[in-house]
Amino acid sequence: MLKHADAFAVFDRSGDLLPGGEEGLYYQGTRFLSHLVLLVDDRRPLLLSSTVKEDNALLVVDLTNPDYLSDGVIARPRDTVHVFRCSFLWKGVCYNSLRVHNYDLRPLEVSLELFFGADFADVFEVRGAKRERRGAQLDPEVESRSVRLKYRGLDRTVRGARIEFEPAPQRVTGSRAVFPDAILPQTERSYLFTVSCEVDGRAASPRSFEVALEEAAVERRSEVARDSAFLTYNV
């Protein structure tokens, strides 16, 4: 679990949000993203390690490819492709970084796919409460670098999850983004995406990944210093 202000997110150990459970990105009591799954060459990568750091502020995941077979022969051995995944929350935005490293001595064609979706269920629904009526799921708005998933509640409030990609995907729909790439030997490529939680069109504008990460770190250092001063004063 990651937390910041009015937002929290529950991931699996690989950094995905699997549909059907309590995983998701929540903001002000509503789940703005209920499905987020990364595939590398049409498969979920293998988990190497997963750590939540700095008081539930930062999720760091290391992944790799399994053995890929072609006609019964290993075409790409395990551990050829390494994926470093990092996620954190800051002011109503979920920031995500993917770094894909090619450890082979040959160039590799690597395809990354992100599958995503939003049910906009409130926390009581997620925990099993049944509602007689729900609002309306609106058509997604798809652009070359972004997707906005939208829902109009019974209170007429429109909530949205705006997903923005850098670089732009080669293909993007209302539920999927594809990043095919050629990665040179012993080099890596980086991919960033943010998920902004919008309420009636109002949302924090995403910062760059590095700026948001530094601002979040400064806030955490300030909180630690304040807590330390409080404890010292009261000892």
Contact 69, 142 (CB under 8 A): no
In tens, the pLDDT along 25-67 reads: 999 999 999 999 999 999 999 999 999 987 778 999 999 999 9
Residue 19 sits in a domain whose CATH number is 2.70.98.40
Is 36 within a domain?
A: yes
The burial class, CB within 10 Å (0-12 / 13-18 / 19+), for 23 is buried
Flag whether pLDDT at 69 surpasses 90. no
Is 153 within a domain?
A: yes
Is 217 within a domain?
A: no
In tens, the pLDDT along 162-193 reads: 999 999 999 999 999 999 999 999 999 999 99
Number of neighbours of residue 41 by Cβ within 10 angstroms: 17
Tokens standing for 75? 């075409």
Is 232 within a domain?
A: no
Is 200 within a domain?
A: yes
Flag whether pLDDT at 77 surpasses 50. yes
Is 229 within a domain?
A: no
When divided into structural domains, the chain yields a total of: 1
Euclidean distance between CA atoms 50 and 34, whole angstroms: 20
The burial class, CB within 10 Å (0-12 / 13-18 / 19+), for 138 is middle
Is 215 within a domain?
A: no
Range of the domain at 25: 2-207
First-to-final CA distance of the chain: 32
* Residue 163 CB partners (closer than 8 Å, separation 6+): 116, 146, 147, 148, 149, 177, 193, 194, 195
Is 214 within a domain?
A: no
